[in-house]
Amino acid sequence: MFSKILIANRGEIACRVIQTAHRLGIKCVAVYSEADANARHVAMADEAFLLGPAPSSESYLRADRIIEICKQSGAQAVHPGYGFLSENTGFAKACEENGIVFIGPPASAIASMGSKSAAKEIMSHANVPLVPGYHGADQSPALLKKEAENCGFPLLLKAVAGGGGKGMRVVENLTEFDEALESACREAKNAFGNPDMLIEKYLTQPRHVEIQVFCDSLGNGVYLAERDCSVQRRHQKVIEEAPAPGLSEETRRAMGEAAVRAAQAIDYVGAGTVEFLYDVDGSFYFMEMNTRLQVEHPVTEMITGQDLVEWQLKIAAGQELPLAQDQVRITGHSLEARIYAEDPDNDFLPATGTLRYLRTPQENTHVRVDTGVTEGDEVSVYYDPMIAKLIVWDDSREAAISRMVKALEEYRIAGLKTNVRFLRNLANAQPFKQQQLDTGFIDKHQALLFPQPHLDVHYGLAMAACYFMEQQKRQHSSSGDPHSPFGRHNSWRLNSTRVRPFKLEHDGEICELNITETTTGYDVAIDDARYDIRASVCDDALSVVINGHSLTVHCHIDEGRLTLFHEGEQFICNRFSESFDAGDHDADASLCAPMNGAVVAVLVEKGQQVSAGDTLVVMEAMKMEHSIKAPADGTVGEIFFKEGELVSEGAELIALEQNDEEAA
Ligand code: MV4
C-alpha cells in the first residue's frame, strides 16, 4: 500500500479522499490555488503545495506542475477526484510515464469511452443493450435518413463528440429530418469540432440509473448495485439515491452484469460508473460510461457499507477486489442532496459570497456531510459552487426521505444564496415520495418546488423584533454593569408599559411595528394586527408561542441583518435602530447609524445646543432617507462623519452631551 499520495483536487472530494487515506495510515499531499490557501483540504493534508493563481487552467489543471510536486514530495500515487484531470488521458499517461500511480483506470480505458460511437461499438460487442438506432461511421445524409426511417420517430440525433446533454436534438417525423440533421451537424462541428451523429429511438420518460462497477488488475469485476440520478436540472444531478426505487432483483442483476461486461470489455481497472437509460417498460439501455469516482458515490457506500476510496487505493496498489460479487450486500436506502451556492429563485444563478454563518445537521450513522468548506470561507467564481453533499441513510426510502427533509431544515447557511430550501421542498414533495421519478421531474413540478414562502411575514417580523429585544437584554445583562436592570433575573421587565417602536426592512419593504414587554413576554402590533408572544432564546434558537401557535426558528445576526431559519427557509430582515426617545440612552449618548448607508446631511455643528427631537444628521440607506434625531436636549459633541461619507450599521455618527438635569 502507498505511504504517501497526492490529491489533485480541491473541495469536498479532496477532504473526503484525505479522510480515508489517513484512516489507512497514508500521508497526504494537497495542492491548492492562491484562492484556496486557507481551504479545508489544505489544513487536513500532511503537506501542501501551491499550484498557482486561482483560475483552474493556472492551478488544478496544471498536469506538469502536479507531476513535479509528486516528485518533490515523494508521493507515489495521485488521486484525481472528479472533474479537473480525472478523465484526462494525457495526465493519466504522464503519471504512468513518470512512475506515478494514477488512482483510476488505464489511459486507454479513458480514451475508449471518450467517443459515444466508439463506446457503443464496444458495448455492442460486449452484449450490453443499446438504444435502437444507428452509430456507424457512414455519415452520408442518405444513409442516415434510411437509418432514421428504420429507427422510427420520434428519434434523437446525438453528436458523437457530445456529452452531458449537449448536441442532442429530438426529431419528431421524417419530414423534418433533413433540416434537423443539417443543423445538428453544423452545431456539433462548431461545438465539438466533429459533425458526426448517432441516431437513437427517443425515450420520452427515461430514468437515469447507473451501476457502480469495480475492476482490479487481476481481471476481477463486481458491481455494487445501482444509483437513481433521474432528478436532474439541465443535466446537473440534484438528488441521487440508492438503490433505484422499484428496480427488481433480476433487473439489478442484468444491469449489473452488463455493466461489468462493459468494463471488462475495455480492460477496466478501478472505480467506474456505467449509466443506463431505464425505460418505463423496464428495459434499459447503455448511455455512457464514466471513468472516475462519481460525486454521488456516497449513497452506494451507505447501502453497501463499503468505502469506495479505500477500494480505489487498494486496487491501485495492485490488490484484488475486497469483495466477490456474492459477498456484496445492500441494506436500506440512501439519498444525497447537493448543496450549492446558487439562487433557485433566479434561475439557479451561481452565487458567490462569504459563508458568514454555517450550521450543519448533527452527523451520525444516518446523516453524513461531505464538505470542503468551513464557516467564514469564500465561495468564489473560480470553481464549482458546491458547498457540500448531504447524505442520509435509513432502513427504507420513506424513512431516508424524512431524515433528508429534517437534515435540510437543520442545514443553516447565511451570507449567500443557497439551494437548501429548494432541496428541502423537492425531498418533501409528494411526487418524489411516490417515486414519480423521471428526468423531467423538476420541470414537471415547478409549483411544488418553488412555493411561496411558508413563514407568515407578520410572524417573521414579530419574531425578529422579539429576538432583537432579547438580544438587547442579553447584551445589557452581560455588559458587566452591576446596576443594569437588564442583569436582574427577577421578573423585572424593561419599562413594561412603554411601547417601543421598531423599524424593520424585509423584502424591500419598511415595516414599523410596536413592541411592548408584558408579564408573559411581548405584545407586538403590526398594522391592525396584534400578536401576543411568549419568547425564549437558547443559543441561536428562538422559541416562540404567537397567538397560541408555537414554533422555533434559528437566528443569525450579521451587521444588523437578521436571518431567521425555518423549515429550510430564510426570513431576512434589516433593523433600523429604534427611533430615539428620551430615557433610551445614557447620558452623553452617541448616535449610531441604523444600518449601512451614506451621510447625506449634517445639520448641526460641534458645541451647538439642540432640543430633543431635533434632526442632527440625515442618512441615506435602502434608497430612503433616515433622520438621526436628538434623544434629549443637549450640546453637540464630536461629529464623526462628513456629508457623502459611507458608514456601516452601528457606526458612531455624532456625540451628544445631554444636559445634566435631563440625564439625572
Ligand atoms: C436520451 C434521452 C431519451 N432518449 N436518449 C441526456 C444527457 C445524456 N446523458 C443522455 N441524455 C438523454 N438521452 C434517448 N434515446 C434522454 C436523455 C436525457 C437525460 C438522461 C439522463 C438524465 C437526465 C436527462 C435529462 C434530459 C435528457
126 CA from centroid of ligand 1 (Å)? 22
412-420: average pLDDT = 95
**Is residue 555 situated within a structural domain?**
yes
Lowest mean pLDDT among 195-204, 420-429, 470-479: 470-479
**Is residue 581 situated within a structural domain?**
no
Q: What is the pLDDT of residue 479?
A: 57
437 CA from centroid of ligand 1 (Å)? 14
Q: What is the pLDDT of residue 454?
A: 81
User: Is 320 found in the same domain as 426?
Assistant: yes
84 CA from centroid of ligand 1 (Å)? 23
Q: Is the pLDDT of residue 495 over 60?
A: no
Q: What is the pLDDT of residue 660?
A: 66
**Is residue 150 situated within a structural domain?**
yes
Q: Is the pLDDT of residue 558 over 90?
A: no
- Per the structure, the complete domain to which residue 291 belongs is given by 207-449
Residue 458 CA from chain centroid, whole number: 29
How is 139-203 classified by DSSP, letter by letter?
Answer: --HHHHHHHHHHH-SSEEEEEEEEETTEEEEEE-SGGGHHHHHHHHHHHHHHHHS---EEEEEPP
Ligand 1, atom 15: nearest CA belongs to which residue? 202
Helix axes 308-316, 11-23, angle to 10 degrees: 70
Give the CATH number, domain containing residue 79: 3.40.50.20
Cα 228 from Cα 253, distance rounded (Å): 15
Q: Which atom belonging to ligand 1 lies closest to the Cα atom of 165?
A: 7
Over residues 85-108, the pLDDT tens digits come to 999 999 999 999 999 999 999 999
| Domain boundary residue, one of 394, 415, 449 | 449
- Residues with a catalytic annotation lie at 292
Q: Which of 2, 31, 7 is nearest to 17 (CA)?
A: 7
132: Cβ contacts below 8 Å, ≥ 6 apart = 151, 152, 200, 201
377: Cβ contacts below 8 Å, ≥ 6 apart = 38, 39, 40, 354, 355
CA angle 292, 439, 148 (to 5 degrees): 90
Q: What is the pLDDT of residue 20?
A: 98
User: Is 435 found in the same domain as 352?
Assistant: yes
Cα 291 from Cα 113, distance rounded (Å): 8
User: Is 244 found in the same domain as 353?
Assistant: yes
Q: What is the pLDDT of residue 661?
A: 53
Give the CATH number, domain containing residue 533: 3.30.700.30
Which residue has better confidence, 473 or 441?
441
Residue 508 burial (C-beta neighbours within 10 Å; 0-12, 13-18, 19+): exposed
Query: pTM of the entire structure?
Result: 0.83
User: Is 461 found in the same domain as 395?
Assistant: no
The mean of the pLDDT values for the chain is: 91
Over residues 376-407, the pLDDT tens digits come to 999 999 999 999 999 999 999 999 999 999 99
Type of residue numbered 287: M
Which residue has better confidence, 25 or 584?
25
C-alpha dihedral sign at 246, 367, 418, 294: negative
529 CA from centroid of ligand 1 (Å)? 52
Which residue has better confidence, 495 or 651?
651
Over residues 215-263, the pLDDT tens digits come to 999 999 999 999 999 999 999 999 999 999 999 999 999 999 999 999 9
290-297: average pLDDT = 97
478-494: average pLDDT = 45
Domain count, the chain: 5
Q: What is the pLDDT of residue 508?
A: 81
Ligand 1, atom 12: nearest CA belongs to which residue? 165
**Is residue 612 situated within a structural domain?**
yes
Give the CATH number, domain containing residue 638: 2.40.50.100
**Is residue 286 situated within a structural domain?**
yes
Type of residue numbered 344: P
Cα 605 from Cα 610, distance rounded (Å): 10
Q: Is the pLDDT of residue 55 over 70?
A: yes
Q: What is the pLDDT of residue 242?
A: 98
335 CA from centroid of ligand 1 (Å)? 21
Q: What is the pLDDT of residue 489?
A: 39
Q: Which atom belonging to ligand 1 lies closest to the Cα atom of 203?
A: 4
Q: What is the pLDDT of residue 579?
A: 43
Cα 315 from Cα 270, distance rounded (Å): 6
Ligand 1, atom 25: nearest CA belongs to which residue? 439
For the chain, helix, strand, coil in percent to 5 are 30, 35, 35
Ligand 1, atom 24: nearest CA belongs to which residue? 439
At 60, the pLDDT band (50, 70, 90 cuts) reads very high
Q: Which of 145, 150, 222 is nearest to 178 (CA)?
A: 145
According to DSSP, the β-strands at 529-538 and 569-576 are: unpaired
Ligand 1, atom 20: nearest CA belongs to which residue? 208
Over residues 635-654, the pLDDT tens digits come to 999 999 988 888 877 788 88
User: Is 197 found in the same domain as 230?
Assistant: no
Ranges of H-type helices in 486-585:
none
Cα 336 from Cα 87, distance rounded (Å): 23
Over residues 327-346, the pLDDT tens digits come to 999 999 999 999 999 999 88
Select from 147, 199, 236, 287 the residue to mutate for testing ligand 1; criterion: most ligand atoms less than 8 Å from CB.
Answer: 287
User: Is 84 found in the same domain as 24?
Assistant: yes
Q: Is the pLDDT of residue 662 over 60?
A: no
Cα 383 from Cα 380, distance rounded (Å): 7
Is the peptide bond prior to 154 cis by the omega test (within 30 degrees of 0)? yes
At 498, the pLDDT band (50, 70, 90 cuts) reads confident
Q: Is the pLDDT of residue 487 over 60?
A: no
Q: Which of 597, 585, 596 is nearest to 656 (CA)?
A: 585
User: Is 625 found in the same domain as 650?
Assistant: yes
Q: What is the pLDDT of residue 623?
A: 61
Does residue 561 contact residue 572 with C-beta atoms inside 8 Å? Answer: yes
**Is residue 113 situated within a structural domain?**
no
Which residue has better confidence, 484 or 506?
506
At 480, the pLDDT band (50, 70, 90 cuts) reads low
38: Cβ contacts below 8 Å, ≥ 6 apart = 377
Ligand 1, atom 22: nearest CA belongs to which residue? 208
135 CA from centroid of ligand 1 (Å)? 16
Ranges of H-type helices in 266-369:
297-304, 308-316
At 622, the pLDDT band (50, 70, 90 cuts) reads low
At 478, the pLDDT band (50, 70, 90 cuts) reads low
Q: What is the pLDDT of residue 166?
A: 86
Residues contacting ligand 1 via CB (< 6 Å): 131, 156, 164-165, 200-203, 206, 208, 232, 235, 277, 287, 439
Residue 47 CA from chain centroid, whole number: 28
Residue 222 CA from chain centroid, whole number: 32
**Is residue 608 situated within a structural domain?**
yes
User: Is 225 found in the same domain as 364?
Assistant: yes
249: Cβ contacts below 8 Å, ≥ 6 apart = none
Other Cβ atoms less than 10 A from the Cβ of 280: the count is: 11
CA within 13 Å, CB half, 577: 24
User: Is 362 found in the same domain as 392?
Assistant: yes
According to DSSP, the β-strands at 27-33 and 47-52 are: parallel
154 CA from centroid of ligand 1 (Å)? 14
At 624, the pLDDT band (50, 70, 90 cuts) reads low
Give me the percent of the chain exceeding a pLDDT of 90: 74
Type of residue numbered 440: G
At 492, the pLDDT band (50, 70, 90 cuts) reads very low
Cell reading at 451: 412555493
**Is residue 94 situated within a structural domain?**
yes
Q: What is the pLDDT of residue 497?
A: 57
Ligand 1, atom 21: nearest CA belongs to which residue? 208
Type of residue numbered 146: K
Q: What is the pLDDT of residue 493?
A: 40
